[in-house]
Amino acid sequence: PPAEPLTERRQAGGVRTIVLNNPRRRNALSLPMLQSLRRDLLHDVKSRELRVIVIAAEGPVFCSGHDLKELSSEDDVKHHTQVFELCAEVMTLIQKLPVPVIAKVNGLATAAGCQLVASCDIAVASEKSQFATPGVNIGLFCSTPAVALGRSLPRKVALEMLFTGEPLSAQEALMHGLVSKVVPEEKLEEETMKISQKICESSKSVLALGKATFYRQITQDLDTAYKMTTQVMVDNLTLRDGQEGIEAFIQKRKPVWSH
């Protein structure tokens, strides 16, 4: 029989769900898995119907990180470089997309899988979920996951994870800011869709501008960030939806967004 696709993409009501679909391999981010994920993220991304993307997974492991079989000495340096470069491309792509991306985590997320969660704009996790960067235990320090981790967690928490490989519980991940919400497993779908549907109520063009601006300013010093965002606020007012939202508020009616 033909192999099942490594990722499954479905879309309804403005919400695209991308499901990592290789539970037998613990949804490892093999080169084909990364290529499939990238395709699903980019598919018709400028469509007016697309408002939010949810990344979920089949099986008890959300994502175990890289497929270590691809990183053995059987493959050459060129192949190893291709794997890590594509992974970095996918992680940065998530933050460059014009719509919010939500990680829906129900299980274990390790190494590059933990990096994937940290790279998403929002992360909702079930109570049983855990997060770890255990590469140090097999002699491959999680240096690329550390990029996303170090930007999501306090430095000392991130470094303890990286140095020890010990996992964070879902509640610890919430406390330190790696995830946005923790809910019982049976409420995970409901809570993720609640957030997604709330996002769908807003203007797509305004959200796209806001997301891009947030990631630009976060790396800037305070004065530069305020100068840049001041101009963005002015630019936001020139958008059709910027004016529509203000007029609707004044007129006490629901806005009619351009999308």
pLDDT tens digits along 10-24: 999 999 999 999 999
Residues near 29 by beta carbon (within 8 Å), at least 6 away in sequence: 37, 63, 65, 66, 67, 87, 112, 113, 116
How many residues make up the chain in this entry?
259
The per-residue pLDDT for 2 is 57
Considering the four listed CATH numbers 1.10.357.10, 3.30.540.10, 1.10.12.10, 1.20.1250.20, the one that applies to the domain covering 202-251 is 1.10.12.10
Residue ranges of the chain that CATH labels 3.90.226.10: 7-200
Which pLDDT does position 1 carry in this prediction? Answer: 54
Look at residues 200, 250, 173, 153 and name the one whose alpha carbon lies nearest to residue 54. Answer: 200
Read off the tokens for 132. 């770890």
Q: What is the pLDDT of residue 4?
A: 83
Say how many CA atoms lie within 13 Å of 167 toward its Cβ: 15
Half-sphere exposure of 222 (CA within 13 A, CB side): 0
| Ramachandran bin of 10, using left for φ above 0, alpha for ψ from -120 to 50, beta for the remaining angles | beta
CATH 3.90.226.10 fits 7-200, yes or no: yes
- pLDDT tens per residue across span 98-136: 999 999 999 999 999 999 999 999 999 999 999 999 999
Go through 137-157 and write b for each residue having 16 or more CB atoms within 10 A of its CB, e for each that does not. Answer: eeeeebebbbbbbeebbeeeb
Amino acid at 38: R
pLDDT of 259: 84
Q: Where in the chain is the domain with CATH 1.10.12.10?
A: 202-251
* Predicted model pTM: 0.96
- 24: DSSP letter: G
> What is the model's pLDDT at position 168?
98
| pLDDT of amino acid 72 | 82
Residues in the chain where the model's pLDDT stays below 50? none
Q: Are 100 and 134 in contact (CB under 8 A)?
A: no
pLDDT at 76: 85
